[in-house]
Chains A and B, each alone.
Chain A
Amino acid sequence: MAVAGGALGDASRLAPRAPEEAKPAGGAALDQILIASGGAAALTAALLLLGWGHRTGRITLLTRLAALSERGPGRGMPGWAALPSPVALVSLLVALLGMYWDISLHISHGRDEGPLANLAHYPILIGLFGIFTAGVLAVVLPRGERPGRACVRITRDWHAPAGGVLLAGAGFYALLGFPLDDVWHRIFGQDVTLWGPTHLMLIGGAGLSLVAMMILEREGRAAGAERGGAVSAPRARYVRRVMLCGGLLIGLSVFQAEYDFGVPQFRLVHQPLLIALAAGCALVAARLWCGRGGAVLAVVFYMLVRGGVSVLVGPVIGELWASVPLYFAEAVLVEVAALALARRPLALGAVAGALIGTAGFAAEYAWTQVAFRLPWTPDIAAEGVLMAVAGGVAGGLCGALLAEGLQGRLPRAAIARTLFGGAVLAVSAAVANGLVITVPDGPSATVTLTGVRGDAASRTAHARVAFSPAGTVDGPAWVAMTGWQGEGLHVESLIHEGDGVYRTREPIPLHGQWKTLIRVHDGRALAGVPVYLPADPAIGAKELPAPERFTRAVQSERSILQRELKSDVPGWLWLLCSSVVLLCTLALVVSLGWGTARIARRIPAPVPGAAPADADETVKAAP
């Protein structure tokens, strides 16, 4: 059981803790379990009690809250759609803040020392639990009515809106990432990277919950229109939809977070792929579902929220600054394309996607020069455009399918499934392409420290780096000095002095818990040269000091950046665990596709010319 417990046990049995005590690397404790279990029991009881009480009519709190929510911005929708929306909105904002804060903490401080040390976990957990709760509310609330034509049956007398089920499912999937993350760490060691498979579940669940919310909005609006009564103002509807699409853009952008902070542990070409994918999907959906200007306003919402989170995490909380892709250019491109193609959604998705992948790529290229710690370079231009076009077109088609489904106008199942499946395959291929990395075998770097200052506890220096052979690096994506996990972050592109020689602009940290290395990325090559690494007894790692002059091999940077990874885990085990995560993810993605297709089928757009009493006004909204 105690795979890493051995080292942990030794560390804890040593003499009393000193301020600079060893950080544990993989165990679990027993003491806190009582408190945690108590909290679990309380929340479980609360949810079950409220749910059971509501369904048997004994507790009227939910009914009253739902009635309240049907006024105000939720007007025109029944309570089972109106109440979960603000709950989910607030939850998502809280989770988003927690995520960027947590990422920043790990970059600046390294792996978790213990649950109570990382405050940022709480907003993540509360937010994800809130998403799940919002879904449960939507599922539990409808009493005495079928919640819309696309509802799913729980029991004979209990039907739930499809969007509610999916919202709860997305929250469930995201929270599932936590225990799976623990299992992953026990097997593979703690992976301090955003793109650990279990971490992706946390992010993906939250981001894709937006699709479930869109489906719920559609179900609510259609049901509200059918039953008559108060009607929501077109402006409120427009704003709500812009926020949902902006939210989807935000959710899909979280995957880029390592690039936002300047510590991507993967090739640079992934960044244009991810940006184009997010832009294609969310902005095409925005334009088609909200109407004219939807794409641009979705980016405005994105800027407010994502910018707000960056400001909170950086200047306010005092952690690191997360840069933000611009997305405005892509939005304008979508709007321009829609001038000609608004009535041909699939064509709009493809064309806008191609524009995003080319012109949009160029705009983001320029933007990274000023806004990002590791700007794009000509090295990635060719491959970057290809990746961006793949992402943009795939995303654009998915966004078009989503918007059409939400309006009850999905193309034939054969076409929709082919396009969706094709998009998933294209993105998977692009990601796989990005993951093909080479590590140069043979080159080395000679580092000469100059201007050394401070004693052992505060040592900094400038460095001159000479690669051997000099042609090792030729027009790179980056040659950077990166120092992290020393209670801060130091990332800078080195100045190219001449043939294979680089030097630093600012003093680099060589003390304490800092891990400092030279990072080299050129074409498919992604490698590093360790400069200074601290001792880490919990994982049995010794200090790697930085003498005034040393020569080290250019090597794989994974073992430098993720020292905690265990190197002796069999490959089949990694494959098995990754497959589990992949299956869970496919289940979520396919469910969302199922949900979209279901509401498109059950709540179709009215046929032009017919004038049914329950016509959904949304058809008039999109020009």
Chain B
Amino acid sequence: MTPWAGADAGALATHPLITAVPFFVPTFIVAAVIAVVVWRDRHRGDDPADEPGGTPAAGAGADTGTGGGGPGGH
């Protein structure tokens, strides 16, 4: 299991982290994107709902999911 068989000459020894990059970088970016979405939503404040009429997702106001009312699906 020699890593150097056929490896290009002059390449420095590599590190297991390089293999991991394609997996943890997307994870961090996606998590960051969702975090930004949440942050922007919270900082938009309690503006009254102004979505177009057809969206069934029009949740009631700016509550934070306090579950008194039934499920969102009408």
Contacts and interface: CB of A to CB of B under 8 A. Distances in A.
Interface of A: 8-9, 11-12, 16-17, 19, 21, 24, 26-33, 36-40, 42-44, 47-48, 51, 109, 112-118, 121-122, 125-126, 128-129, 132, 136, 139, 143-146, 148-159, 168, 171-172, 175-176, 178-179, 181-182, 223, 226-227, 602
Contacts of B56: 144
Given A154-B41, A227-B73, A176 B24 contact: yes
Main secondary structure of the interface of B (DSSP, over half): loop
Contact of A30 (B9, B12, B28): B12
A48 B72 CA distance: 25
Contacts of A116: 3, 7, 14, 19
Q: List the 7 closest pairs (A to B, CB-CB), nearest first.
A: A146-B72, A39-B22, A24-B13, A115-B19, A117-B3, A40-B25, A36-B21
Given A136-B30, A139-B34, A143-B57, A37 B21 contact: yes
Contacts of B4: 17, 21
Contacts of B19: 36, 115-116, 121-122, 125
Interface residues of B, number: 48
B13 A12 contact: yes
B44 to A, nearest CB: 8
Contacts, number: 185
Nearest to B4: A17
26 contacts: A9-B12, A28-B15, A28-B18, A36-B22, A39-B22, A44-B25, A47-B26, A47-B30, A121-B20, A125-B23, A129-B24, A144-B56, A144-B73, A145-B73, A146-B71, A149-B67, A153-B41, A155-B37, A156-B62, A158-B37, A159-B65, A176-B24, A179-B17, A179-B20, A181-B17, A227-B73
B3 A129 contact: no
Contacts of B8: 31
Nearest to B2: A19
A181 B18 CA distance: 12
Interface in B16-68: 16-31, 33-34, 37-38, 41, 49, 51, 55-59, 62, 64-65, 67
Contacts of A125: 19-20, 22-23
Contacts of A19: 2
B27 A39 contact: no
Contacts of A155: 37-38, 41
A156 B59 contact: yes
A126 B19 CA distance: 11
A146 B21 contact: no
Contact of A115 (B9, B16, B31, B65): B16
Contacts of A40: 21-23, 25-26
A484 to B, nearest CB: 16
B34 A113 contact: no
B13 A29 contact: yes
Given A125-B19, A129-B27, A155-B38, A145 B72 contact: yes
A528 to B, nearest CB: 27
Contacts of A139: 34
Given A44-B30, A125-B23, A227-B73, 14 more contacts: A11-B13, A12-B13, A16-B9, A27-B12, A39-B22, A40-B21, A43-B23, A44-B29, A48-B30, A112-B15, A116-B14, A156-B41, A156-B59, A157-B55
B46 to A, nearest CB: 10
Contacts of A39: 21-22
A146 B65 contact: yes
Interface of B: 1-4, 7-9, 11-31, 33-34, 37-38, 41, 49, 51, 55-59, 62, 64-65, 67, 70-73
Contacts of B11: 29, 31-32
A32 B21 CA distance: 10
A139 B34 CA distance: 10
Nearest to A183: B17
Given A36-B19, A37-B21, A152 B65 contact: yes
Nearest to B25: A40
B3 A114 contact: yes
B13 A178 contact: no
Contacts of A9: 12
A364 B12 CA distance: 48
A173 to B, nearest CB: 10
B70 to A, nearest CB: 8
Contacts of A159: 59, 65, 72
A117 B1 contact: yes
Contacts of B51: 157
Contacts of B29: 44, 48
A139 B33 CA distance: 13
Contacts of B59: 146, 156-157, 159
Contacts of A158: 37, 57
Contacts of A223: 71
A158 B30 CA distance: 16
Q: Tell me which of B1, B12, B59, B70 has the highest count of chain A C-beta atoms within 10 A of its own C-beta.
A: B12
B27 A175 contact: yes
Contact of B18 (A51, A115, A153): A115
Given A21-B4, A40-B26, A145-B71, A172 B31 contact: yes
Contacts of A136: 30, 34
Nearest to A57: B55
Contacts of B33: 48
B27 A12 contact: no
Contacts of B27: 129, 132, 171-172, 175
A475 B21 CA distance: 49
A25 to B, nearest CB: 9
Given A145-B72, A154-B37, A175-B24, A32 B31 contact: no
B71 to A, nearest CB: 5
A150 B67 CA distance: 7
